[in-house]
Amino acid sequence: MPEEVKEINKFVSDEIKTLVSWKSPLRIFKKRDKKHFTNLILVVFIISLVLIFFKEFLLVGVILALVFVAYVNSSVEPPEFEHKITTQGLTSGGHTYLWDELKEFWLVKKDRQTVLNIDTKVRFPGRLFIVLNEGNVEEVRQALSKYISFREQPKVAWLDQLTDWFSQKLQLG
């Protein structure tokens, strides 16, 4: 490797400092019991009967696929990923997001765990969801606040409101 490239690489690597790093699961994991799945299957069965009456077979297939995904998500523990906040950006799961690609962030409590939500400027993913460990919530918030804006109240879209409403009414989770 030429000497000039070595010098540039050395200069760049000296400038990037890790501010906070932690390992956490990919998503929040909550083991479900038989009662949960019995209730879920009962609700899906009733909805499927109504949809079959209206000859909406494709919609029944979509609902069954979603039930399968729900079953897999609640029976298979997620893998752990390493996350780092550096002076260059955020690295999560081996992918680095530069500060120019990130808009704002906020924290949400869900199932007794804190989830870091970060909106991005890129089309995909539009939002990052990162599970935090309870010991480093304040440290992560302070490190991110230096580079992107912190939102006290989370953004709630109509789809989020609809999902929360169904969760409360059905009490499946």
pLDDT tens per residue across span 32-68: 889 989 999 999 999 999 999 999 999 999 999 999 9
pLDDT above 60 (res 7)? no
Is residue 84 domain-shared with residue 156, that is, in the same domain?
yes
Is residue 100 domain-shared with residue 156, that is, in the same domain?
yes
| The pTM of the whole model exceeds 0.95 | no
CATH code where residue 151 lies: 2.30.29.30
Is residue 136 domain-shared with residue 92, that is, in the same domain?
yes
Is residue 64 domain-shared with residue 103, that is, in the same domain?
no
**Domain annotation covers residue 106:** yes
Six token digits for residue 154: 């989370």
Print the domain residue range for 141: 17-26+78-160
pLDDT tens per residue across span 77-113: 999 999 999 999 999 989 999 999 999 999 999 888 9
| CA-based nearest residue to 154, from 169, 164, 139 | 164
Q: How many domains does the chain have?
A: 2
Tokens 């992918």, located at residue: 95
**Domain annotation covers residue 132:** yes
* Three state DSSP letters for 45-76: HHHHHHHHHCCCHHHHHHHHHHHHHHHHHHHC
The count of other CB atoms within 10 Å of the CB of residue 95 is 10
Is residue 53 domain-shared with residue 120, that is, in the same domain?
no
CB of 128 closer than 8 Å to CB of 91:
no
